[in-house]
Structure 1
Amino acid sequence: MHIVQIAPVIGPGGGVSGSAYQLGMALTALGHTVENFTASDALRRGRRPFRSLLVHRLSRVWYAIAFSIAGTRRARRFLAERPGAFSICHNAVMAGDIYVNHGVVAAAMQARGDMLWRMLRNPLHTFTFVRDRIRYRGHTHRAVVALTEAEIRVLNDVYGRVGPPVTVIPHGVDLERFRPAVAAERRAARTMLGLDDEHRVALFVGHELDRKGLPLAIDALAHAPTVLLLVVGGYASAIDRMRRRAETAGVADRVLFLGPQGNLSTHFAASDMFVLPSDYESFGLVITEALASGVPVIATRVGCAPDLIVDGENGYLVDRDAAQIGDRFEQIAATDIERWHSRCRGTVAHLSWRHAAERYVALLESLPSPPTGGKR
C-alpha cells in the first residue's frame, strides 16, 4: 500500500509531528510505502515572493493559516500525481482519506474558561474553529480517527454531528525507547541532574505550561514537603512566570526548570512519579510514555488517563485541586518505587505503534471507494 501522510512537520519528538513520524515508521516496517507532505513541501512549491514573505516575515498565525489554504491546494495536487495512494492527514490541510483528530481548540479553550474571549483574541483559534467545522460537518475526508472514545463526544459537542464515520485508534508508544530503568540507569540519570537517593521526584513534561496544569503541580508542593518537581519543556517567558509562582508559594527550592529536552527517557529514569493535571488533552502521549517507563502517573480525567489509570495500581486520577495532588505525591513518595514498575508497564504493553499502524491499514482497506487522490 502507498500511503501519504500530511502534517505541518513530521519528525522525531512529541506532539503531532512525533506521532505522525512514529506512525510512518511503523507503516514502513509493515512493508508499506510512506511519503510525507509537510509545510516545507507546500510552501516551496509556491511563488518565491509569497514563500519568502510567509516564512521570514509573517507571524506564526499567518503561517498556519496560509498552510491550511495554500497547503490544501498543493496537497490535492500532490495526491493527484499519485493515483492509487491512500492519505492520512494529521493537521491543517483539508485533504486526505483519513483525518486524525489531534485536538479540538474550542474544547481546550472551554476547559480553561472564558472561551469566547480566548477564541476572539487569537485569530488562529477562530480560523481553526471555522475550518474544522467545515471539515467535520462536510465530506472532506472519508473517515475520522479519534484517539479516545471521549473525544468522539467532544467532537459532537463542539461541531455537531460529525459527517464522516469516526473510528477510535489510540496512539502507540515506543516500548523500546520507554522502559523501566535499571538501578544503574536511575543512578546515572539522578547524578546528571544533581539528585541523590533521598529525593522523591515528580516529573512534569509539556510546553503549554498553563494548560498542562503546571501551576497546580507547583502549588501541590506546599502539601507535599518531601517531593521535588522536575519541569521539562516550556518557553522562556512562561518559565519565568512559573518561577515567580514557585517563589510566591514558597517552594522555589524544590522546583527544577530544565527547559525543552530531547531525551525524555533519561528524565523518566530519574523520576519516581509523573504529574499532568491538564485542562484538556485529546490523548496525552506523554502519559503512555511515563507508564511504559514504569513511572506511576497522577493526572486529571482527560485524554487517555481515564482509560489507562487505575487508582493505586499505576497512579491516581485527581481533580484539579492542589491539595489532592499533593496528597497523591506524598502517597507515592512513601512507597517502594520499584513495586510500581511492572504494573505501570503492563498497562500500555498493548499500545505499540505497530498495532496502531495495523489498525490504520485495516481502516484504509475498509473504506468503501478508491483513494481520493486529488479529488478531496
Structure 2
Amino acid sequence: MTRIVQIVPRIGPGAGIPGVAWHLEQELGALGATVERFTYDDARRRPAAPWPKRRLARRFAHGWRIVWFSTVGTRRARAFLAERPDAVAICHNNAMVGDVYVNHGLALTHMRARGHSGWRVFRNPFQVFSYARDAIRYRGRTHRAVVALSAAAAAELRAVYRRVRPRVVVIPNGVDLERFHPPSADERRAAREALGLGADERVALFIGHEFARKGLSHAIRALPHAPGVLLLVVGGNGELIAQAQAEAEAAGIARRVHFTGPRLDPRPFLAASDMFVLPSAYEANALVVLEALASGLPVVATRVGYAPEIIMDGSNGFLVARDEVEIGARLAQLAEADPAEWRTRARASVAGHSWSAVAQRYLALADELAAERRAGG
C-alpha cells in the first residue's frame, strides 16, 4: 500500500493551496493510499499565533512564515520523513523537501502580473528569498518531479528558471462535481430571490479577492458594451470594493454592479448567475473556473493558466484579451443566447476533471517514484 505525506503550510476544505491538498488527501485515501500531513503547525509543534491586525504587520508575518517554513520547517519535515522511509512526499509550498513539488504559481510572475516592476519585486527581501530558494529548488536535486498545473505553467517554469532538473509532469487541478453542479429551477429561483434579482435579468459573475490581478476593472468597463448584463462581484475587502464602486460610478454603470464582499460558499452566487467572467493577468490554475463550468456557467476568461486548455471558444465559453470591448461583446453574446445549451456544454467540459481522477494521476506518479526508489533509481 502506498504511503504518501503531504507537506503544506495549511490544509483544509476551501479554495487555494489548502483546498487542493485537502481534496487530494480525501481522494488518495479513498483510493487506498495511507495519507499523512505535515503542516506549519506540525513544524511549529504548537498552533500558530493569530495574524496581526495591521496590514504591514500581516505582510511581514506572512513573509516571515515563508522563510521559517522554508528553513526550520524543512529541517523538521526531513526528520518527519526519516521516520517514514517508504513514504512518497508531496510538497505544496515553501519547504525544500519532498519527492514531488507542486508548482502552484511562480512568485516572480505573480508579482509582475500585479503591475510590479522587476526592481520593485527585488526590493522586497522576502521576494528575493523566494526567488533564490526556488532557483535552488528547480535547478537542483531537492525534488524528483515537479507537477505543473497546466502546460502553460510548465512552459513558464522553464522560461523563468531556464534549466529545470526534475522531470516536469502536468496534472491540472480538479473540481468537486457533486458539490458544484447546475442548479435546479428551485435552487436558481431561491438564489436569485435572495439577491433581489429578477427571473429575466442576465448576470455575469466575478469571484476573486485580488481585484487588480484578476481584472475586475476590465469586467466593469466591459459593461457599457454589454447592455442589460449585471455584474455580480464576490470577494475583495472594504477598500477594494470602494475603489471598484467609484470606477463603476465614473463609467455610469454603478446600478449594474453588485458587490457581496467575501463569501465562504460561492455556490449560491453560481446558481444565481448566467455566465462567469475572469479577465485575469495571471493564474496557475484557477479553481473557480472549473467550479463555474461544473455549475453550468460558460466562462469568459483570458488566456492564462489552465483556461486555454479547458475553454473552447463558442462551446463552453470564450477566450479573450484584457480588452473591455471584446469582453463586453462576449458577455452580450452569452446574454442573448439560450442558457440551457451553454449550461449543458459547460458541465460536460469538466466531466473528466473530478478530484478522484486527479488523485489517480498523483497516485500513479507516487507509485512510479516508489518503484524507482526500490530499484535504486
In the superposition, the TM-score normalised over structure 1's length comes to 0.93
The answer as to whether partners of 1:55 and 1:63 remain within 8 angstroms in 2 is no
What is the rounded CA distance, in whole Å, between the counterparts of 1:177 and 1:85 in structure 2? Answer: 31
Which residue is 1:18 aligned to?
A: 19
User: Could you say if the C-alpha distance between residues 31 and 207 of structure 1 is closer, same or farther in structure 2, counting changes exceeding 3 Å?
Assistant: same
Structure 2 CA distance for aligned equivalents of residues 123 and 277 of structure 1: 30
Cα RMSD, aligned residues only = 1.9
State the AA in 2 paired with 1:76.
R
Q: Equivalences for 1:214-293 in 2 at 5 Å?
A: 214-293=216-295
Given that 1:314 and 1:340 are in contact with CA atoms closer than 8 Å, whether structure 2 keeps it comes out as: yes
User: What residue in structure 2 maps to residue 356 of structure 1?
Assistant: 358
Evaluate the alpha carbon distance shift between residue 236 and residue 37 of structure 1 in structure 2; reply closer, same or farther with a 3 A threshold: farther
Paired with 1:61 and 1:244, the residues of 2 have a C-alpha distance of 32
Query: SS at 2:158's partner residue?
Result: helix
Rounded Cα–Cα distance in structure 2 between residues aligned with 1:250 and 1:276:
21
**Secondary structure in 1 matching 2:212:** coil
Matches within 5 A, 1:308-327: 308-327=310-329
Greater alpha carbon shift after TM alignment, 236-245 vs 189-198:
236-245
Quick one: distance in 2 between partners of 1:305 and 1:135?
27
Distance 1:206 1:127 in 2: 27
Deviations 1:119-157 (A, max 9, x none): 134333222111111100011111100111111110011
Q: Distance in 1 between matches of 2:135 and 2:91?
A: 16
Cα 1:254–1:212 change in 2 (3 A) is same
Structure 1 unaligned regions, length at least 5 = 372-376
Residue by residue over 1:172-229, the C-alpha shift from the partner in whole angstroms, topping out at 9 and shown as x without a partner, is 1101011111111100111111111122111111111110111111111122221111
* In structure 2, distance between residues paired with 1:354 and 1:227: 36
Task: Work out whether residues 28 and 35 of structure 2, in 8 Å CA contact, stay in contact via their aligned partners in 1.
Answer: yes
2:106 matched to which residue of 1?
A: 104
Corresponding letter in the other structure for 1:335 = A
Aligned to 1:176: 178
How many Å apart are 1:108 and its aligned residue?
2.3
Amino acid at match of 2:362: Y
% same residue: 55
Q: Deviations over 1:56-79 (max 9, x none)?
A: 976222222222222111111111
Kept in 2, the 8 Å contact 1:106–1:115? The answer is no
Output the CA distance in 1 between the equivalents of 2:50 and 2:362: 37
User: 1:123-202 counterparts in 2 under 5 A?
Assistant: 123-202=125-204
Judged with a 3 Å threshold, the aligned counterparts in structure 2 of structure 1 residues 118 and 214 are, in CA distance, closer, same or farther, namely farther
* Cα offsets for 1:72-93 (capped at 9, x unmatched): 1111111112221111111111
| SS of 1:100 mapped into structure 2 | strand
The one-letter amino acid paired with 1:168 is V
**Separation (CA, whole Å) in 2 of partners of 1:185 and 1:38:** 37
TM-score by length of 2: 0.93
> Secondary structure of 2:213's match?
coil
1:36 correspondence with 2:37:
yes
**Closer/same/farther in 2, CA of residues 161 and 268 from structure 1, 3 Å limit:** same
Quick one: structure 1 residues 226 and 69, their matched pair in 2 at CA, closer, same or farther if it must change by over 3 Å?
A: same
Select the structure with the greater relative contact order (CA < 8 A; seq sep ≥ 6).
1
Q: How many residue pairs are counted as aligned between the two chains?
A: 367
- Kindly state the Cα deviation for residue 8 of structure 1 after the two structures are TM-superposed: 1.1
* Cα distance between partner residues in 2 of 1:227 and 1:353: 33
| Structure 1 residue matching 2:214: 3-state secondary structure | coil
CA gap 1:237/1:125 in 2 versus in 1, 3 angstroms: farther
SS at 2:174 equivalent: coil
What letter is aligned with 1:221?
A: L
Rounded to whole Å, the distance in 1 between the matches of 2:65 and 2:201 is 44
Distance 1:110 1:263 in 2: 30
1:231-285 Cα deviation digits (max 9, x unpaired): 1112332222222222222222111111221221211110000001010111111
Aligned match for 2:373, one of 370, 373, 376? 370
- Give 1:374's aligned residue: none
1:84·1:370 contact (CA, 8 Å) conserved in 2? no
Conserved 8 A contact 2:114-2:212: no
Match of 2:61 among 55, 59, 62: 59
Q: Distance in 2 between matches of 1:222 and 1:130?
A: 45
Closer, same or farther in 2 for the Cα pair 1:121/1:241, shift >3 Å? farther
In 2: Cα distance, 1:316 partner to 1:89 partner: 34
Q: Distance in 2 between matches of 1:223 and 1:89?
A: 45
Per-residue CA distance 1:290-337 (angstroms, 9 max, x = gap):
111110000000111111111111111000101111111111011121
